Chains A and B, each alone.
Chain A
Amino acid sequence: MNLSLRRCVVVFAVVLALVVGSSAAFASSLTIMQTEEPRSLDPSNHSATYTASVLHSMYENLTALDEEYEIVPGLATDWEQSEDGMKWTFYLRSGVAFHDGTPFDADAVKTAVDRMIDPDKGLVVYGRLGPVIEEVEVVDDLTVVFHLQDPYPAFTRLMAIGQAAIVSPSVIDDVASEPVGTGPYKFVEYVSGERVVMERNENYWGEVPEVEQLVWRWSPEDSVLVMALQTGEVDVVTPLPPAHVSVLEQYQGVEVIETPGARAFWVALNTTKEPLDDVRVRQALNYATDRQGLIDSILWGSGTVANSPVSPGNFGYDETLEAYPHDPERARELLAEAGYEDGFSIAIAVQEAEAQYVEALQGMWREVGVDVIVDQMEGGIWSDAVFAPKEENEVQASFASWSSATLDADMMLTPLFATDSFPPASANLGFYSNERVDELLQKAAFETDPEAREAMYIEAQGIIHEEAAHITLWYGNNIVGLQDNIEGIWTLAGGMLVVRNPRIVE
């Protein structure tokens, strides 16, 4: 009796273990590792790409970008703009609810957008939407009208940026600690310093994802990303450093996806200071730069030579523009013409992590007699230095990169090259100023005819390129490493990972 009872217990325990074990194996989960911790769970109050990746699984916008970077319906099914471009009407998707059951309707959109454009809230998104949107009007349950301050032709693209995600009115002031959206995954927990966990939203209006759970982790250490993929502790890593690509490609069971990105890397030249105020000198530096060489050596081939200040994938990008070829001879001629046959020295302000790129330029420019001083700075100090107002700005040249969240030329050209964008107002770091460019950018921003708009951006790009305001170097690739049984994950041009309906195939 006693013995058989004990046997019963053992059998029961074994069965229990099997059941628990197998159900645990059933619960599909995906672990994604990025290089930094999310800075906030409030989609409207950060500007970090890898924070956006995490939040994009939970939140949605009125419009969305697809894999071809085209605008597609999101929480709005359709939209139209008024004749004068001052009014945009969005027709909302019906039957959608936020994760906590709050219905998604026109009032919810108004509450969410009103928060974004309220200057007193001091949110990061305010800088994007504040100057554009005048007022949000609720017409009926599923119709909202956005009244703009000026026409904004790329408005559907603006509404697709991660910071314009619609958060639930139920948590409107606490969204940083209680994220509630409408996306395919809903928030479970954020263990600071460790992980963010999400589970699939069974009531999702679109296709309910197959994978039940997402776990987001992070490590600033490149080699940890690689090892985590090798041990299988992590399913997806991004951004994978180019140096590790070839190693991982040979590793069994692991796959690397590399796609051209929309981030342009450049050196801004201070056009108000000698000798860079001379266009010939700026062109000479462009000719002295071996862009393909940089990509091959430092980026291990993971990039594309930049031919324009606007990157591919953006509306208005001019693919016909010809990149400055590597021509040291021509560079020396131009320098001689400008009176610098003996060369000169130039300090380039650069953040620590990017110093190696400037060091590569140092070698190239020495060939034409230009001596580069690598002025390496910690991030915060760099930002203070390069954004100093014109009178106080001591920076001769600065290395930086840029991508436009809207994938529209306006956000690549206006902040970087318009006279109104001199620091600290915006990021025209070289104080470049050209009347025709200003005029084109202003007109294009309000032009509602796409073709006419594109033509203006192409003309502006040509002028900026010719006047060599920047040394545009390369467009970086987005590199994702993943287990080869994972599908349905892709990156947006700016490097943001999209994990909305991943699949684990056997």
Chain B
Amino acid sequence: MGRYIARKLVVLPIVMIGVSFIIFFVVRAIPGDPARLMAGTEATQEQVMAMRRQLGLDRSILFQYGVFLQGAVRGDLGNSINSGMPVVGEISRRIPYTLQLTFAALLVASVLGISAGVLAAVYKHSWVDQGVMLFAIIGASAANFWVALMAMSVFSVQLGWLPLFGADTWRHMVLPTFSLCVYPLALIARMSRSSMLEVVKQDYVRTAQAKGVSKFVVYTKHALRNALIPVITLVGLHFGVLLGGAVVTETVFSWPGVGRLLVDAVRYRDYPIIQGTVLFTVLSVVLVNFLVDIVLAAMNPRMRFD
């Protein structure tokens, strides 16, 4: 285990440097000139050139990458081309919001999803099962965007219970969390159900039942532990996805997360912000995968590494 962790920690900086190299060149390879986009259609060529000089975009890409790396090792990812503000400050202000929403949505999705999935498995083919699976199909196929707008229209505009947008109090979190958790909730419920049905067919479960252990204990104690392994992998994967920013949800609810920042940055070709955001996302995904591995190892001795 210790060796496994050490190996991961050694690889991490190499991954980050590799990713920074790729993203640095890729953003500059996409058509679109940040200076022209900033100066607008009305800009003259002379003006665009002056801006490119000022931003250092007239230097060779390798030179620019050198400057970037030099700053990056000191924790300075440059300044936003548009606002002129430091990238690190900008991103670190957004991260807590993304984390908040991601945790809340995945917590709700996991608790409800696993409970619903287990219930559906226990009462297989009953109306509970059918109800859960119907929701799972709708939840997995409903567009996130549509769910968000419907929720706003009902709970904010019609009923007036919750604020429409913003991120000031816990009440502002309810609708974004709801609309963000629908999809993972549906997936988790389905996965929990099928995984549970798979596990209860195993011999050790039959043995436990034969011993006369109550159905409740068999399911929650013996079966659930093994049934959760694929579910945890799924939650971990989703975590990575959401950390990159739940772009649609953040946009609709004016939630100041990382995803929204990235989308705007791509639109204006704000290279430093794109680089910073992507690096942060990669780092998060790597770390979360790492955590998932450890959790799985803790849960299942067969998956331990040494």
Contact = CB atoms under 8 A, between A and B. Distances in A.
A475 B254 CA distance: 31
A378 B37 CA distance: 12
A46 B33 CA distance: 14
A228 B164 contact: yes
Nearest to A232: B160
Contact of A124 (B39, B46, B97, B157): B39
B45 interface: yes
Contact of B53 (A122, A191, A224, A402): A122
B47 interface: yes
A48 to B, nearest CB: 7
B166 A384 contact: no
Contacts of B84: 40, 42, 45, 176-177
Interface stretch (B99-107, B221-229, B263-271): B263-271
Interface in A201-253: 217-221, 223-224, 227-228, 230-231, 233
Contact of B37 (A123, A379, A424): A379
Contact of A122 (B30, B55, B251, B252): B55
A64 B31 CA distance: 38
B34 to A, nearest CB: 8
Interface stretch (A126-134, A293-301, A316-324): A126-134
Interface in A97-143: 119-124, 126-127, 130-131
B85 A192 contact: yes
Interface in B239-272: 251-252, 254, 256-257, 260-261, 264, 267-269
A121 B47 CA distance: 11
Interface in A41-74: 41-42, 45-48
A194 interface: yes
Contacts, number: 157
Contact of A47 (B31, B43, B85): B43
Interface residues of A, number: 54
A14 interface: no
Contacts of B41: 383, 400, 402, 427
Interface string B53-71: 1110000000000000000
A31 to B, nearest CB: 10
A41 B83 CA distance: 7
B44 interface: yes
A122 B51 contact: yes
Contacts of A227: 152-153, 156-157, 164
A42 to B, nearest CB: 7
Contacts of B264: 37
